[in-house]
Amino acid sequence: RRGLVWFRRDLRCVDHAALHHALAQCETVLCVFVFDPDLLEPLARAPDRAGHRRVAFLHGCVAALDAALAVSGNRLIVQHGRAVESLASLVETLGIDALFYNRDYEPAAIARDEAVTARLQALSCVCFDFKDQVIFERGEVLTAQGQPFSVFTPYKNAWLRRLTPADLAPRDVVLRAAPAAEPTAAATMPTLAQLGFDAAPETPPLAPGSAAAEALLDDFLARLDDYHVRRDFPAVRGPSYLSAHLRFGTVSIRTLAACAHQRMLAGSRGAETWLSELIWREFYMMILAHHPRVAAGESFKPEYDRIRWAEGTAAEEAFAAWCAGRTGYPLVDAAMLQLNTTGYMHNRLRMVTASFLCKDLGIDWRRGEAYFAARLTDHDFAANNGGWQWASSSGCDAQPYFRIFNPVTQSTRFDPQGKFIRRYLPQLAKLPDRDIHAPWAASATVLAEAGVKLGKDYPYPLVDHAEARQQTLERYQVVKATS
């Protein structure tokens, strides 16, 4: 039997379910990655080249996977075309009998995979799909009544109760050299420019590939026990920074969950908290799988679609200021600059900026969701949508609508010395710690001594938080009767 493994969000060749099964079932196993214009073109067309950093990361991961396969005498076949046509043509020209791939849970990916399967089956190629992206998928963790959970903590408890060593065991891969005559990536790997993207994004992209993920993991494991105390402070190296690697599968979720689980059993509170975050990732994937309507722009709680969001010129200006990091609230602005310049934003800041957009500026969370989606290297539909619906209170197990983050309090609590703010807003660097969170409240003398001219070096606040809070409570009245 000749098998073909189709790599997608699983760009590694260790602990890989589809590759493991292909090697067990086929004498010859070939590997393919498809750069699909259906996914790339919207990013290439985006007005400010926002998605280029993510595609550069993906491109680097594909090249790293090819290099890793080459060590054992295999190569990656790299195609540039629509998945259905590319795979059908490969199956015919290479005489493939079976396609192996790991399941994806986004509605668009599911539709694509169904189209691929139908086409290949018509060519007498059997298709096998596997669970690999998660420890437990859609129907595996259910309530006692067999229903999907919509609250996180009971989901997490059920998830942990269900866990056995077999769920965390690596799906071993022992590669055999492919026959020399088989096609390789070397001849087919398109350049970034050929894909329609810039070769050199402005800032160095996150290092791609499994070796880079492993280095990040090693670095993080030395800090894991303190994760629960450090993770909320954006100026501190608290979290793992593995999100983009998890997104593209350069590291396996089983490896990460096994590390966390083992250390948790040994008494590490940091590991327990981190495992909980990995379970949030699966929670939102499960929500998406059971409620695909959220991918069509609907609120998880339908009554939240009655909210009338701010519109018109003032709202457009406010949205542009939020995007550009010009709201006049330093923590919000520094966070947006982190996103715009690096493609990453710290989790605490994702919550603060998302809350600020919907609950201080009164702007529809879907606009923020789309802005993040275009820029985050780690963009994952389920986590991003889940995070935005949490912040706007429209999601399952979201924060209540009347809980409104105060952007200044968040700043004094989570960046007390303004270290993170100073990193992204050097024009405020000389303000004392006490004043950096709300420069408009600083005295004229303090501002003069720090060399800050409000309205010139840094904007006045776009809104008054107390007033905005009141308006938001009024705006959200429409959901009150039913929530």
Query: What amino acid positions are annotated as catalytic residues?
Result: 277, 280, 309, 347, 365, 388
Distance CA 337, CA 345 (A): 9
Question: For ligand FAD, which is the closer residue by CB, 97 or 277?
Answer: 277
Site string for ligand FAD, 312-331 (x = CB under 6 A): --------------------
Which one of the spans 71-79, 127-135, 164-172, 384-392 is the region binding ligand FAD (CB under 6 A)? 384-392
Which one of the spans 7-15, 127-135, 147-155, 243-251 is the region binding ligand FAD (CB under 6 A)? 243-251
Q: What is the DSSP letter of 293?
A: G
Q: Does residue 395 bind ligand FAD (CB under 6 A)?
A: no
Distance CA 439, CA 408 (A): 10
For the CA atoms of 319, 323, 327, 332, what is the dihedral angle to 10 degrees?
130
Edge-to-edge, what's the strand order for the sheet holding 76-80? Answer: 76-80, 28-35, 2-7, 98-102, 126-130
Torsion angles phi and psi, residue 482, rounded to 5: -110, -5
Give the rounded distance of the alpha carbon of 273 from its chain centre. 19
Q: Does residue 9 bind ligand FAD (CB under 6 A)?
A: no
Q: Does residue 205 bind ligand FAD (CB under 6 A)?
A: no
Q: Does residue 240 bind ligand FAD (CB under 6 A)?
A: yes
Which one of the spans 36-44, 79-87, 141-149, 349-357 is the region binding ligand FAD (CB under 6 A)? 349-357
Which one of the spans 237-245, 286-294, 444-452, 474-482 is the region binding ligand FAD (CB under 6 A)? 237-245
Minimum distance from residue 226 beta carbon to ligand FAD (Å): 12
**Residue 121: strand, helix, or coil:** helix
Cβ–Cβ under 8 Å, residues 5 and 19: yes
Strand pairing category for 2-7 and 28-35 = parallel
Minimum distance from residue 23 beta carbon to ligand FAD (Å): 28
Distance CA 349, CA 330 (A): 12
Distance CA 161, CA 142 (A): 12
Minimum distance from residue 378 beta carbon to ligand FAD (Å): 4
Site string for ligand FAD, 267-306 (x = CB under 6 A): ----------xx-xx--x----------------------
- Note the residues at the interface with ligand FAD (CB under 6 A): 231, 239-243, 246-247, 277-278, 280-281, 284, 347, 350-351, 354, 372, 376, 378-380, 383-384, 386-388, 391
